[in-house]
Amino acid sequence: MAKGSTIRNEFHSFADAYTGRSMTRLTAPEQVNHHPYFYYKMITNDNRYLIYASEREGSRQLYRMNLNDGTALQLTEGPDIHDFSCSLTSDDNYLIYCRDQRIMRLNMTTLMEDVLYTTPAGWKSNANPGLSSDDKYLVLVEINEKDVVPGKGDWSNFEPQWAAKPHCRIIYLDIEQRTSHIAFEELDCWLGHPQIRPNDPSTLLFCHEGPGHLIDARLWLVQKDGTRLRCAKEQTHDELITHEYWLADGSRFAYVYRHKDDLYHESIRFMDSETLVEEVWMNCSKYCHFISNANHTMIVGDGQLPEQHFIYLVDVEQRQEKRLCSHGTSWKSYGNTQDAHPHPAFSPDGTFIIFTSDMEGVPCIYKVDL
C-alpha cells in the first residue's frame, strides 16, 4: 500500500469482564497495530484523529485514524520506519517521526516531508526523540556505532547493551534554524529517554538506561548548553525508578519508585527540577508506564503483574486508585520489544484513554471512555 491510501477499521464494542466498563477495539486482531510511545502526542487537539502504526504487507507504516468511523489514512511508505517514535506538533500541523537515521517532519495536510536531522556516520540514533512544547527544539540520543549491541526484536540485548558502556551523546536540534549541537555526552554510559521540560526548552531530563538493579541512578538533568549536570535522585541497587515524564505545565516531573522487597506495590513521586525536592505522593499498584492528563487531575497506569492485569485510573485530588478495565496483555514481542505494552495515554480533553493489548491474540488498540 502507498502513502495516501485509505483503509477502514471496523470497531468492536464490548464490556470489560472485570469492571463492566464499556470498551471499543479500534483495530482488528489480524495484524500488529499499536499507538506511539505513551508520552508522545498521538491524538489531535479536537480528539478526532489517532496516530498509530500498522503492519501490513510486510512493513510497518504510520496511519491517521478517524476515531468516529475508523477510516485511516496511510502517512508513510517504504522501509525503516520507527513505529513507536512519532509525535504530532502542538498545533497538529506536522508529524515528527523517525526513518532509519533521520528525523522527518510530515505535513499533515499535504503529506509532504522534509528531513530535520540526519545522524552522522559513525553514530546510531536511538530513535526516541523529545520535542519541546513550542515545537521549536528537539533532543535525541546517539550511540557510537562501535558500541551498539545488535538487537533481535526482544530484550536479549538489553543488559549486554548496558554492559558495553557505550559512548553516548544528547543532540539538541533547533528546528527553525536547522542547527544542532552536542548538549551532553558520556564516554561509558547508556543514555536514554531525553525529554525537554515544557515551557523551558533549556532544561533536559534523561536517564541512565539499563537494568534497574545495575545502573548507578536513572534520573538526570542537564541544561541544553551542557551545564548544571545533576543526578536528580541517588538510588541503590535495591531500588528501581522508572518511566519518568514531565507534567504538562513543566512544574515537576513524575516517576514511580519501588523497592525490590515490595512485590506488589510502588509509589508515585514528583520532583522539582530546580530544587530536586522529592514528593512521595501515594502508593499504587506496580505500573509499567503511567502518565497524567493535560491538567493533572487524573493519572493512568498499566499494571504489570499477572494479578494486576488492569489499566488503573488515579484521581489526583482524592489520591485514589481504581481499576478501569483489564488490559490482559501478554507483554510479548512481535518483532519489537514493546509491541504488546499497553502504554495507556489520555485524549487531549481527558474523556477517553487509548491503550494497546494482545488480549485477543495480536496487538490491537483499545479505547476506553471515562
Q: What is the pLDDT of residues 297-324, one digit of tens each?
A: 999 999 999 999 999 999 999 999 999 9
Q: What is the pLDDT of residues 14-28, one digit of tens each?
A: 999 999 999 999 999
Share of the chain above pLDDT 70, in %: 100
pLDDT higher than 90, residue 200: yes
pLDDT, position 1: 82
What separation in angstroms does the CA of 105 have from each of 96, 108, 183, 322?
Answer: 5, 9, 22, 39
pLDDT, position 153: 85
pLDDT, position 152: 86
Separation of alpha carbons 122 and 145, rounded Å? 5
- By C-alpha distance, which of 154, 155, 206 is closest to 183? 206
Separation of alpha carbons 209 and 258, rounded Å? 17
For the chain, domains (ranges, CATH) are 1-117+328-370 (2.130.10.10)
Q: What is the pLDDT of residues 217-256, one digit of tens each?
A: 999 999 999 999 999 999 999 999 999 999 999 999 999 9
pLDDT, position 144: 98
What separation in angstroms does the CA of 70 have from each of 7, 133, 140, 326, 356?
Answer: 8, 29, 33, 23, 16
Separation of alpha carbons 310 and 302, rounded Å? 6
Q: Which residues pair with 117 in a beta bridge?
A: 103
Q: What is the pLDDT of residues 31-81, one digit of tens each?
A: 999 999 999 999 999 999 999 999 998 899 999 999 999 999 999 999 999
pLDDT, position 263: 84
Separation of alpha carbons 177 and 125, rounded Å? 21
Q: Three-state SS for 50? A: strand
**Terminal C-alpha separation, the chain:** 35
Please count the CA atoms within 13 angstroms of the CA of 82 that sit on its side-chain side: 20
What separation in angstroms does the CA of 136 have from each of 160, 241, 260, 295?
Answer: 35, 30, 40, 22
* Number of Cβ within a 10 Å radius of residue 208: 20
- Per-residue cell: 146: 562501535
**Continuous segment of H or E residues that includes residue 357:** strand 352-357
Q: Three-state SS for 145? A: helix
Average pLDDT over residues 190-197: 98
Separation of alpha carbons 205 and 215, rounded Å? 17
CA Rg value for the chain? 20
Separation of alpha carbons 170 and 141, rounded Å? 5
Angle at 66 between CA 62 and CA 68, to 5 degrees: 155
Q: What average pLDDT does the chain have? A: 97
Separation of alpha carbons 341 and 328, rounded Å? 10
Q: How confident is the model at residue 127 (pLDDT cuts 50, 70, 90)?
A: confident
